[in-house]
Structure 1
Amino acid sequence: MTMFWSVINALATFVMALSAAYFFLNVGMGIGQLRRDKTTLGHQSHFVYGKPFQVSPDIEMPTDYVTYFLVACLNEEAVISSTVAGLLHPDGQARIVVIDDASDDDTGALATEAGQGQVILVRRELPNARKGKGAALNAGFTRIRADVAERGLDPEKVIVCVMDADGQLSEGAMAHVLPVFEDPKVGGIQLAVRIRNRSTNFLLRFQDYQFWSQSALTQFGRMRTNSVSLGGNGQFARLSALLAVDDAPWSTSLTEDLDLTVSMATRGWQTSSTTRAAVDQQGVETFQALLKQRTRWYQGHMLTARRLPEILRSAKMGHGAALEMALYVLVPWIFDLPWSILYHLVLIEVALMLGTLNITEWGAVSLILYVFTWYLLGFWPALLTAFIAHRRDHTLGIGGALKMGHAFVVTNYLSYACVWRALIRILRGQHGWTKTARTAEPRLDRIGNFTDAADVQKQGQ
């Protein structure tokens, strides 16, 4: 039995040390990236959203790029008007390709109305529609390719931006995104994600904490290895890079964005980000919906591990990028699944050990030191991430940050549930999903202003 617990302790120490090193190394590099950009942890928390083409007098935006926005929609009448209005160019030059994937509601009509002539509507009909987000994006991409060819545009200077139907880019985002593409090796850019309705309840605030105070910083860290993971919202890609992947670059994967990241990287394209722009979106308002969403993400992420040999064999990726990307696609397999078992075995061992102690003989100081030591061992990541979150989000007080940090330890059980649900679905060969419902929002006017002044205030919170 002693040998058993020795092995468990060794495995637990290895997994915990490797995961902590990977996470905090990326976070540390992310903070370093902010310093190189001469900005701060809290800089992005002051962003407002809805006017991506706004130009600041002290920023020069490249004018030789053409941007196409790509928005896949299925029954999105609750949010599509605001999304389209938030992407409009004040001079009428935006090209917003809305793919209506056989919606049963007024998504297409509302998108066209809100677009003021800047929307290109692609309507898909059953039985060819509703084949997943990747298929819908590829349908819109076909329309973009035709338009680019008709206009005689250079694919190197055409940028395709994928937006969720509830997404909003930060004010002036394009002036910060486009200059990154001046490096001809950059094929894609992913913006940090903010949860717009985070003040509604604790579940939404926690999602924002994960996206804004953790994922965003690790993404900035990946800028050092040029292996930033693309997401489904606020994803920018050079047209020539997409064409290098395929005429239909988005796969049928449940995480088509991660799949695209791997495809670009193995073909020699770099992926990056910018610390001076962001994108926001609605969070999932119920636990059941969040469980379903995260299970889908885990399942797609886990299946991406099949491409590990492709990553490691690629002669076009740098060693740092290949190593980081290999670790990233393996996270569910080498961190989450093992730790969901090892963590509880360690708890059992601790309980057995405590059963042999007679703490009634201890003095108060010894007992306090003992409890405090175990607290630090168990919650030091929470304390560190809480401090970062407090600096990152000016709306999150120190008390709220500590609550989020400690909640992260408890809500690991959400990850445990999702990763095992995903594994079961993989073993059963289940791949179908229904989309997450959106919450209705106020519309934006033609230049990206919310029609209700109170909503403007909410948007900036």
Structure 2
Amino acid sequence: PPPAGLGWGAASTGGYDWLWWVVRSGTARPGFLGGVCAADGRPSPGCLDHVAARRFFGRSEIGGVQIEVRMMNRDDPRPSHGKGALRNFHSRLLIRMQDLEFRAPVAALQHARKTSRTVCLGGNGQFVRMSALDDLNAERGRPWTGRLLEDFELGIHLMLAGWINSFCADTHVEQEALFDTKRFLTQRTRWAQGVMQCFGYIPAIWRSNKIPNIGFLELAFFLSQPWLQLIGALLYPIPMIALGISYYRHPEAAAAYLADGGWRGIALYAAMALGQFVIWGPIYRRKCEPETGFWRSLGWGLAYPFYLLFLYIVSWRAVGRMVSGRNGWAKTRRNAETPTGGPVAKEA
């Protein structure tokens, strides 16, 4: 206290202030690294050796390094203790989807971002050079400035200051995946709202001569995603709704249309909508879970698009919070915690 109850950014800034007091020698600061792990985070052995390697912090232009994130409870057979088989199946699948998300598509995106120099920092397993934080502190008054997606905002600030962020998959940090849908939505709503808050950085990114053009395009697309999801939630169902109405009003004509080849268009629509996400199941198996059977990994891939439907829900919830003026940081209660009634444990 006091920053402990005000959100991740405030707590991280408090940690930075303490480290600044401890390490006051200016000559030592360029080689001094600050690492951030959540209370449930478990960095793998040798983690520091990997991030300090020649191709990461061994390069003087590297300001931040994000390591791979894994879910430590991905193999828990009964995450919802005391609940029935169906509830536990849902919880296991929700946990597995989070592990798949971070270790397959997110990791692939982070590797691709090395080309555009737009690697993002995550809340768990981020490492930052203290001299880079000093630059932000001198420019902005504090390294973390209050957005609800503090880690992503920090990464943007580092890029705008001329530092390069990188992604290290040679090591990892494990954290607890959420198995309760309500708490999961609370967490992802905060993330979506944080991205929406960072949308205002697009002009600064455009004007910056330290971020390449391809980096601007990637960041602009990422920052636009929650807003595009609002539109998508309205537009994507239209073809199926129109088909349903047509079938209800003119069942014989609709049946004739489908029999005459119309089903091909529907199949193509479904393949384009789902196929790009289903492939992540087998990719995740090959990269992360080689002992898992192919058909199970295909099942994970088929579940992944439905898991992503949560993004449309949380985008609308985030807009609702912004419209109602709720911009405060809402802590997501961890699996082993019990509700305390305090402000930091309050669900949004």
TM-score (norm 1): 0.63
Which of 134, 157, 167 matches 2:31? 157
User: What is the distance in 2 between the residues matched to 1:271 and 1:353?
Assistant: 52
Identity, % of aligned positions? 31
Partner of 1:146: 21
Letter matched to residue 23 of structure 2:
V
**Runs (5+) with no aligned partner, structure 2:** 77-91, 338-348
SS, match of residue 190 in structure 1? strand
Letter matched to residue 222 of structure 1:
R
SS, match of residue 223 in structure 1? helix
User: What is the distance in 2 between the residues matched to 1:260 and 1:136?
Assistant: 14
SS, match of residue 278 in structure 1? strand
* Aligned-residue offset at 1:337: 1.5
Seen in structure 2, the aligned counterparts of structure 1 residues 374 and 343 have a Cα distance that, compared at 3 Å, is closer
* Aligned-residue offset at 1:242: 0.9
Q: Which moved more, 1:416-425 or 1:166-175?
A: 166-175
Task: Tell me if 1:385 matches 2:260.
Answer: no
* Aligned-residue offset at 1:192: 1.4
Which of 240, 246, 255 matches 1:358? 255
Partner of 2:320: 424
Letter matched to residue 358 of structure 1:
A
**Runs (5+) with no aligned partner, structure 1:** 1-123, 442-461
Which of 123, 129, 150 matches 1:256? 150
Name the structure where helix makes up a greater proportion of residues: 2
SS, match of residue 409 in structure 1? helix
Which of 160, 182, 192 matches 2:68? 192
SS, match of residue 161 in structure 1? strand
Which of 336, 339, 349 matches 2:232? 339
User: What is the distance in 1 between the residues matched to 2:19 and 2:308?
Assistant: 41
* Aligned-residue offset at 1:408: 2.1
Task: Tell me if 1:309 matches 2:203.
Answer: yes
User: What is the distance in 1 between the residues matched to 2:259 and 2:118?
Assistant: 52
Q: Contact 1:308–1:326 at 8 Å: present in 2 too?
A: yes
User: What is the distance in 2 between the residues matched to 1:403 and 1:330?
Assistant: 30
Letter matched to residue 62 of structure 2:
V
Partner of 2:162: 268
Letter matched to residue 182 of structure 1:
G
What do the CA deviations read for 1:398-434 (whole angstroms, capped 9, x no partner)? 2222222221222333111100000111111102344
* Aligned-residue offset at 1:176: 1.8
Q: Contact 1:170–1:278 at 8 Å: present in 2 too?
A: yes
* Aligned-residue offset at 1:129: 5.0
Q: Contact 2:65–2:167 at 8 Å: present in 1 too?
A: yes
SS, match of residue 191 in structure 1? strand
User: What is the distance in 2 between the residues matched to 1:164 and 1:262?
Assistant: 21
Task: Tell me if 1:242 matches 2:133.
Answer: yes
Seen in structure 2, the aligned counterparts of structure 1 residues 136 and 373 have a Cα distance that, compared at 3 Å, is closer
Which of 187, 201, 212 matches 1:293? 187
What do the CA deviations read for 1:21-80 (whole angstroms, capped 9, x no partner)? xxxxxxxxxxxxxxxxxxxxxxxxxxxxxxxxxxxxxxxxxxxxxxxxxxxxxxxxxxxx
Letter matched to residue 20 of structure 2:
R
Q: Contact 1:141–1:248 at 8 Å: present in 2 too?
A: no
Structure 1 vs Structure 2 CA RMSD: 2.4
User: What is the distance in 2 between the residues matched to 1:426 and 1:281?
Assistant: 29
Seen in structure 2, the aligned counterparts of structure 1 residues 434 and 204 have a Cα distance that, compared at 3 Å, is same
* Aligned-residue offset at 1:391: 1.4
Letter matched to residue 273 of structure 1:
F
Seen in structure 2, the aligned counterparts of structure 1 residues 428 and 374 have a Cα distance that, compared at 3 Å, is closer
Seen in structure 2, the aligned counterparts of structure 1 residues 204 and 410 have a Cα distance that, compared at 3 Å, is same
TM-score (norm 2): 0.82
User: What is the distance in 2 between the residues matched to 1:239 and 1:359?
Assistant: 68
User: What is the distance in 2 between the residues matched to 1:370 and 1:310?
Assistant: 43
